[in-house]
Amino acid sequence: MTDPFALDDRDAAPPPAGPSPEALLAGLNPQQAEAVRATEGPVLVLSGAGTGKTRVLTARLAYLLAGGFAQPWQCLAVTFTNRAAREMRERVTAMIGDEAASVALGTFHALGARMLRRDGERIGLSRDFTILDADDQLRLVKQVAAGMDLDPKRWPPQAILAVIQRWKDRGVPPERVGADPGAEYAAGRAVALYRAYQAELARLAACDFGDLLLKCLELFQAAPDVLERYQRRFRYILVDEYQDTNVAQSLWLKALAMGHRNLCCVGDDDQSIYSWRGAEVGNILRFSHDFPGARIIRLETNYRSTGHILAAAAHLISRNADRLGKTLRPASGEAGEKVKVRAVWTGDDEARAVVEEAEALQRRGVPLAEIAILVRAGYQTRAFEERLMSTGVPYRVVGGPRFYERQEIRDAVAYLRLIRQPADDLAFERIVNLPRRGIGGATVDQVRAAARAAGAPMSRAAARMIEQNALPARARGALSRFLSDLEGWRALAAGADPRTLLSEVLEAAGYLEMWRQDKSPDAPGRVENLKELIAALDEFADLAEFLEYVSLVMENQTGDDADRLSVMTLHAAKGLEFDHIFLPGWEDGVFPNQRALDETGAKGLEEERRLAHVGLTRARKGVVITFAAARRIYGQWQNNMPSRFLDDLPEAHIERISESGIGGYAAPRAGAQRAEDAPFGGAGGDESGYKRGDRIFHDKFGYGEIRAVDGNKLDIAFDKAGLKKVMARFVAPA
């Protein structure tokens, strides 16, 4: 392969043998062909969902090479993922042959690294610098923070690293942070931490991922001749997913494009949904300002969805003020089914209704792989996962582990395992220093060795070592406190229900607080997941029942080659498509997400609406939106207002379906949880409304008969699951 970064400048040679440029336009619609032919000057291709942006981008690159506009090494193509880069190179190679191998094509980080390996010595960076992964970055931040005597419990290293990375995403080195609000973090020492962290990277001859662009900007400023060489080299620059660029990436592109000004960015402002990881929608909105005379070409012919789906999505997104504007139209002209908006009484009813409809689609011949449930927040997946498992519908969680496989859930379950079974050494090792208690790896190794020598559990070996003063004083004290806490929690477990137990343990241990203080983007979601787990424990009579259930859940795996329904967050769904989509939880506070609204106000609301637009446009044939009149969130029942986004959907393109009695309809359907016995006013009344001998249905345990009633607690003999104690709100009349 020719290395475009190592070649000398040279005049354009004749075009390579291969297809004529015009032949590459075969099959493109007029707007797509226009985007390919617009070779000169800055061009923004606004490519809506399902409009064939990848085809346009690859055809444009092939067109430039086949037409002799540039040699391969004079083209720079930038993507966000290695997979996208691979796909583009393969497609262009299929179009014009091996000439495509010499194109400078890759991710922002990969291309930045190649520039620094070639020219980084101009700013004191060794050619063989190391690129640190996430674990190495965190370890280095911990060392720097420890050197400045910062309390890791008050100022978690993950949070410090997140602040530093935000600055790097904006192209801001330590000396230019100024009065940024983040500078107040860590008692006003955040900038000093940033400076010390960068000094340590320099000492180690290393860069983190943020440096791969930040150092390039430094290089361009310190060595104008290097920048001029790259500007002269890259006659044509193509960029995919421009709406997802951060400030540093935008500055890097602008610097390189100022030579020939032949910059073509493909993106969709209506799909900019990653501000929480640094993406700046303003980059695409300001394109014409940043590149005067820029040409904007809109791709509006959608090859994915039907007319009703596109009309609903278009009407919704039109409510956003900060957008360049376009209207998607179905290529087929087919109207298809209207978007269904279904109202249900509770979240449990929602999970049941969604899975039942998915099963109905499967019976009609729709593969499960063409069905997806898209939720706003990760904690919402639990109800659907449990319903899918209870009905035996194969599923997979896309973009992350299943609910009970997530790190924070495994940690919480490990606390419960060790409380119930003191001999559970695996659980002991997982949580003994989580959160950090000053019990290091060396101490754990000593305890493990002593336990094996004595043939005893680690917790018993640890107690014996404490009695014998066989550990350093600091570790001995920390371990003693941990064992004392365990004994207290075991005493609590003897009389408390599982939910109360876990709530008390996670608070007392500081585990929940650890994630509350963590400033990394996924930390709030972890807190939500833990709260969802605590609430889920209401369904279990005792700790043993819950732990048995979790062990069975973890064994319930399906082969990767099986036909499976997909469950994922809306963020994970971007770029994917399915025949049928379910969009649950469309209630204010859930979606739009309350935290997003509280933190970013009107700007956050517009991003939430873009997320709704992304969800709708994942579907080819059918969309079902659901919302619940009441939902149990972290164990507390809440009355819900339907999502304000439902008001943005045009009546002509939606079909409203409601459980009886919701929204002014008739009384509740037979067997449904009614307003008077569902928790629409909070926790519900003291009496269950059930009596001995009543037949009921439970989502997980199935049908059963009530044997005893104690307020809202029922003793139920289930037909298949045996005798269990269940809260009344989790069953319905059979």
CA-nearest of 395, 372, 403, 384 to 574 is: 372
Q: Determine which helix (DSSP H) or strand (DSSP E) holds 396, and give its type and residue range.
A: strand 395-397
Amino acid (one-letter) located at 305: S
Catalytic residue check, 54: yes
Catalytic residue check, 301: no
The catalytic residue among 169, 208, 218, 240 is 240
Show the beta-strand stretches assigned E in 419-523: none
The catalytic residue among 476, 618, 631, 632 is 618
Residues 6+ apart with CB under 8 A from 431: 411, 414, 415, 418, 509
* Secondary structure percentages of the chain, helix, strand, coil, to 5: 50, 15, 35
The catalytic residue among 32, 198, 231, 271 is 271
CA distances to 66, 70, 107, 413 from 58, rounded to whole Å, are 12, 15, 15, 48
The catalytic residue among 2, 39, 54, 600 is 54
Task: Give the dihedral sign, CA 718/719/721/723.
Answer: positive
Alpha carbons 221 and 226: distance in angstroms, whole number: 9
* 3-class DSSP state of 302: strand
- Residue 582 in tokens: 């379910």
Residues 6+ apart with CB under 8 A from 178: none
Amino acid (one-letter) located at 339: V
Q: In which region does residue 559 sit, left (phi positive, over 0), alpha (psi from -120 to 50) or beta (all else)?
A: beta
The catalytic residue among 31, 53, 74, 638 is 53
Residues 6+ apart with CB under 8 A from 517: 153, 154, 155, 156, 159
CA distances to 307, 319, 651 from 329, rounded to whole Å, are 7, 18, 18
Catalytic residue check, 241: yes
Residues 6+ apart with CB under 8 A from 354: 373, 384, 387, 582, 584, 624, 626
DSSP-assigned letter for residue 674? P
For tokens 């291969």, name the residue. Answer: 18
Phi and psi torsions of 624, nearest 5°:
-125, 115
Residues 6+ apart with CB under 8 A from 137: 161, 208
Catalytic residue check, 446: no
Residue 439 in contact with residue 430, Cβ under 8 Å?
Answer: no
The catalytic residue among 241, 518, 648, 699 is 241
Phi and psi torsions of 468, nearest 5°:
-90, 5
Which positions are catalytic? Answer: 53-54, 240-241, 271, 618
